[in-house]
Amino acid sequence: MKIFHLPDLGEGLPDAEIREWYISEGDEVKVDQPMVAMETAKAVVDVPAPRSGRITKLYGKTGDVINTGAPLVEFADGEATSSAKGTVVGNLEVGNTIIQESPTGIKPTASVATGIKAIPAVRALAKKLNVDLNQVTPTGSHNQVTVADVERAVQPQTATEVAGGEALRGVRRAMAIAMAQSHSEVVPVLLVDDADIHAWEANSDITARMIRALIAGCKAEPALNAHYNGKAMVRYLQEDVHVGLAMDSGDGLFVPVLKNANKQTPTQWRAKINTLKEQVKNRTVAQEELKGATMVLSNVGIFVGKYASPIIVPPTVAIMATGRVREEVIAYNGKVEIHRILPISLSFDHRAVTGGEAARFLATVIKDLQEEK
């Protein structure tokens, strides 16, 4: 028996959802042949075969969530291919020797019937998934614990098992996890103000102006262009500005990253943003494009809303959101005029950013936005 386990498809992603099997039990596959499409937090990744051989078992069906490190496919017995070079590589466990031990770890003297029987691959899987073999009901021959037994101990509920509801999947599930993490870790503070953009030229690119202002703010107060490790209580100031752009889609929220925005021109920003929008729409955005943001920009006013309380996702320490542009009657140079007003909301993590730093950042942003060009 040779079991291929689901590899880490991203930077420490805990699991992935089976979107589509390309193979069936009994099929013969070649090394590097795509076996299954797995949906991670943000992208769909094809997992190739790590070796050639016949498939004897598929662990899971479409829609199932598989933990990283859990069994994915089982190959028929035969000589393993040691030179497999699949694009995505996982563990291929081999073995049929049964190890038995008592629940206390001491071999019983009277009878081995009370011991735990499991092959090394099953024991390794249980250890990786933090499953106590003492709590697993064996279904194999002679009370042997099987891979399926370990899997059942950690198998999450499916949509049909949630009475009257639908389990979150894919991007929405990842979003729920990220929001819960933020709520449990971050100490958020909200700061709001308005920018008078009356001096802007007609048809100005609001997103490009926001990126420019954000970069100016980061230059004035580098504390907001940073990552923070809450466990170690260490702050990492970033030299370059990598702007995460929150994009809404029917599948959920995506945040592709505009890398090295401080070293590019507005024309380059717009070209890249258009490409990322199309990729998000078609679900073809690469995982590499979704990593590394040092600060996030969101447009909550695209439909409705002046101000918001945008959520900070670690390790970033700040997120800025724009609201819906409105016309407002104001006093300007001793006269009453109607100006266009852009509302701005800034959330910052008070563990890593002081109120003064956030205020100076936002003041710089507003000053940049209120310039004519």
Q: 256 and 363 share a domain? A: yes
Q: 190 and 150 share a domain? A: no
Residue 29 lies in a domain: yes
Share of the chain above pLDDT 90, in %: 54
Residue 166 lies in a domain: no
Q: CATH number, domain at 44?
A: 2.40.50.100
Cβ-defined contacts of 78-81 (< 8 Å, 24+): 78/2, 78/53, 78/54, 80/2, 80/51, 81/31, 81/50, 81/51, 81/52, 81/53
- Residue-wise pLDDT tens digits, 275-294: 999 999 888 888 889 999 99
How high is the pLDDT of residue 109?
36
Q: 14 and 156 share a domain? A: yes
Domain boundary among 107, 130, 160: 160
Q: 127 and 192 share a domain? A: no
Q: 72 and 191 share a domain? A: no
Q: 216 and 301 share a domain? A: yes
Domain boundary among 160, 187, 204: 160
107: tokens are 């071999």
Segments of the chain with pLDDT less than 50: 79-86, 102-114, 157-160
String of DSSP letters for 46-105: EEEPSS-EEEEEE---TT-EEETTSEEEEEPSS---TT---SS---EEE----EEE-TTS
167: tokens are 């389990």
User: 34 preceded by cis ω (within 30°)?
Assistant: no
Q: 109 and 152 share a domain? A: yes
Q: 151 and 74 share a domain? A: yes
Residue 165 lies in a domain: no
Domain that holds residue 312: 171-369
Question: Do residues 46 and 34 touch, judged by C-beta distance below 8 A?
Answer: yes
Q: CATH number, domain at 242?
A: 3.30.559.10
Question: Do residues 94 and 124 touch, judged by C-beta distance below 8 A?
Answer: no
Residue 276 lies in a domain: yes
Q: 87 and 208 share a domain? A: no
Q: 129 and 184 share a domain? A: no
Question: Do residues 248 and 300 touch, judged by C-beta distance below 8 A?
Answer: no
Question: Do residues 243 and 214 touch, judged by C-beta distance below 8 A?
Answer: yes
- Residue-wise pLDDT tens digits, 305-317: 899 999 999 999 9
Number of domains, the chain: 2
Q: How far apart are CA 178 and CA 184, in angstroms?
A: 10
Q: How far apart are CA 137 and CA 220, in angstroms?
A: 61
Q: 253 and 132 share a domain? A: no
Residue 275 lies in a domain: yes
Residue 355 lies in a domain: yes
Domain boundary among 160, 189, 219: 160
How high is the pLDDT of residue 98?
53
Question: CB within 8 A of 129, min separation 6: which ones?
Answer: 67, 69, 70, 150, 153, 154
Q: Residues 107, 113, 116, CA angle at the centre, nearest 5°?
A: 60
Q: 3-class DSSP state for residue 205?
A: coil
Q: 230 and 94 share a domain? A: no
Nearest Cα residue to 73 out of 96, 97, 91: 91
Sign of CA dihedral 277, 207, 179, 353: positive
How high is the pLDDT of residue 64?
87
Residue 206 lies in a domain: yes
